[in-house]
Amino acid sequence: MIMDLKTIISGVNVLNTIGNLDLNITNIHSDSRKIKQDGLFVAINGFSQNGTKFIPNAIENGAIAILVEPDVNIANINFPNVAIISVNNTRQALAISACNFYDNPSKKLNLIGVTGTKGKTTTTFMLKSILEAHKLSVGLIGSIAVYINDEKIEDTDRTTPESIDIQKYLALMVERKVQVAIIEVSSQAMKLDRVTGSEFEIGVFTNFSEDHISPNEHPTMEDYFNSKLELLKMSKFGVINNDDNEVSKIKSLLPNKIIKTFGIENEADVKADHENTIISDSYVKFPVSMPGGTGLPVGTVLVADVSPLADITVPIPGKFSVYNALGAITASLFFDVTSDEIKAGLKDLRVLGRSELVPNKLGLTILIDYAHTPSSLESILTAVKTYAKGKVICAWGVGGNRDSAKRPVMGEISGRLADFTILMTDQARYEDPLKILKDIEIRNYSYWKTI
């Protein structure tokens, strides 16, 4: 792919330039190691590294144009035959340039973003499966991998990829005739402009609880919530959990936006029958009531006139699975799905690492779950205790160089709810693993017994 530089930076807030901008660009990236011949390097200042440090590496790899932060004095940068462009915000500039370079693929797709503290991954897989049962071609970008229908395109290492990668994946989906693209959108992705320039049809907000409060993430819960709220502000339509006290406020915060609700306890557009919900050690089963005929367009599709459903079954145990399914069902109704398609899409669902049942010959219920926050850990353990027939053993750990305040909180939760807790090392990064374990143990000595 080749595009002239001026077209690529169209819409970017350019402050100053040095050099010739009449250049043809073949690639863009913020990682100097991934720059190739005739590339555009965006020198982002990260949390630990200054992007300008890597300009020589980028040029050596083939960069012919560089975008820099406004505090960089471009008069002091002297590289012959290289255009230097000062912009107001390099992360935003990267996102806009990526959209331009890949010809704005989100405009050619029905793009759905899913945010929330918990349930993003499972909800996206549920929604993908329902829409595929409706015979739509669906792409997914999330914390496990990038998929186009049943094909895994690439593994991922973060909830929401960098903006240039998002646009690359969306462009590939357009090329492959995908109709709906679904993406997990983290609060950090919103703060760091990873989805800036993308056009969302639907934004789904699963729930909200404390997480990611640290110097390098969110300074306050208000900042954390507002970052997630931005997704719904960007979306044509919203889908929210009406049982979550904070999330339910969004309808009043965005009074001019069409928002559909789901829930179990409170009144909602899509509601599970709480009294007749069954939660076992291997599935959840629940009836759902839904309105029909609301006529909300997504592309050229209308919401179906769906009659009440009976006995939706999802092979993922826990009350949270009901909520995740309700969020997916509500979003899917924008695409004229039928009751049978919803049932078919959910009945055999399996999501790696999300309340994933491990087959075994011991007759034990073994679950793998990515419960990396206090609320997630409490949710999974509370759910397990409702159907566990024996002792609950919880083996877990937390990553290093991340929110340390949650460690003793999670330790208290596991010590209180599990019969046995096994602490393990999990991606210690640059921290001492024993220090991490001590952080978990603090304040919780009454729960721990040394074996």
Exposed e or buried b for every residue in 325-350, given b needs 16+ CB within 10 A? bbbbbbbbbbbbbebebbbbbbeebe
- Which of 13-17, 104-108, 301-305 has the weakest average pLDDT? 301-305
pLDDT value at 305 more than 50: no
Mean residue pLDDT across the chain: 88
pLDDT value at 298 more than 50: no
Residue 318, pLDDT score: 84
Residue 114, pLDDT score: 97
Average pLDDT of 422-446?
A: 81
Average pLDDT of 319-345?
A: 93
* C-alpha to C-alpha distance for 386 and 395, rounded to whole angstroms: 19
* C-alpha to C-alpha distance for 32 and 43, rounded to whole angstroms: 8
* C-alpha to C-alpha distance for 189 and 28, rounded to whole angstroms: 19
In DSSP terms, 63 is beta-bridged to 39
CA neighbor of 272 nearest in space, from 233, 222, 322 = 322
pLDDT value at 255 more than 50: yes
* C-alpha to C-alpha distance for 16 and 129, rounded to whole angstroms: 48
Report the length, in residues, of the chain: 451
CB 367 within 8 A of CB 358: yes
* C-alpha to C-alpha distance for 195 and 179, rounded to whole angstroms: 19
Residue 4, pLDDT score: 97
Residue 297, pLDDT score: 46
* C-alpha to C-alpha distance for 112 and 263, rounded to whole angstroms: 20
Q: Which residue has the tokens 């929110």?
A: 403
pLDDT band at 291 (very low <50, low <70, confident <90, very high): low
pLDDT value at 96 more than 90: yes
Which fold would CATH assign to domain 3-101? 3.40.1390
Residue 37, pLDDT score: 98
**Residue 159, both tokens:** 């909830």
% of the chain exceeding 90 in pLDDT = 61
- What confidence tens digit (pLDDT) does each residue in 181-198 have? 999 999 889 889 999 999
CATH architecture of 105-347: 3-Layer(aba) Sandwich (3.40)
- What confidence tens digit (pLDDT) does each residue in 32-84 have? 999 999 999 999 987 667 889 999 999 999 999 999 999 999 888 889 899 99
Domain residue ranges in the chain: 3-101, 105-347, 358-441
Q: What is the longest distance spanned by two Cα atoms in the chain?
A: 73
Residue 213, pLDDT score: 57
* C-alpha to C-alpha distance for 398 and 407, rounded to whole angstroms: 7
Residue 403, pLDDT score: 77
pLDDT band at 219 (very low <50, low <70, confident <90, very high): low
Residue 167, pLDDT score: 98
* C-alpha to C-alpha distance for 82 and 440, rounded to whole angstroms: 51
pLDDT value at 295 more than 50: no
* C-alpha to C-alpha distance for 143 and 154, rounded to whole angstroms: 11
* C-alpha to C-alpha distance for 85 and 70, rounded to whole angstroms: 9
- Which of 202-216, 350-364, 365-379 has the weakest average pLDDT? 202-216
Q: What is the 3-state secondary structure (H, E, C) of the chain?
A: CCEEHHHHCCCCCEEEEECCCCCEECEEECCHHHCCCCEEEECCCCCCCCHHHHHHHHHHHCEEEEEECCCCCHHHCCCCCCEEEEECCHHHHHHHHHHHHCCCHHHHCEEEEEECCCCHHHHHHHHHHHHHHCCCCEEEECCCEEEECCEEEEECCCCCCCHHHHHHHHHHHHHCCCCEEEEECCHHHHHCCCCCCCCEEEEEECCCCCCCECCCCECCHHHHHHHHHHHHHHEEEEEEECCCCCHHHHHHHCCCCEEEEEECCCCCCEEECHHHCEECCCCEEEEEECCCCCCCCECCECCCCCCCEEEEEECCCCHHHHHHHHHHHHHHHHHCCCHHHHHHHHHCCCCCCCCEECCCCCCCCCEECCCCCHHHHHHHHHHHHHHCCCCCEEEECCCCCCCCCHHHHHHHHHHHHCCEEEECCCCCCCCCHHHHHHHHHCCCCCCCCCC
CA neighbor of 28 nearest in space, from 100, 77, 87 = 100
- What confidence tens digit (pLDDT) does each residue in 358-391 have? 888 988 888 888 887 787 788 789 878 888 888 9
CA neighbor of 250 nearest in space, from 156, 343, 116 = 116
Question: Which CATH number describes the domain made up of 358-441?
Answer: 3.90.190.20
pLDDT value at 343 more than 60: yes
Residue 449, pLDDT score: 52
Residue 110, pLDDT score: 97
pLDDT band at 304 (very low <50, low <70, confident <90, very high): very low
pLDDT value at 292 more than 60: no
Q: Around Cβ 143, how many Cβ atoms within 10 Å?
A: 19
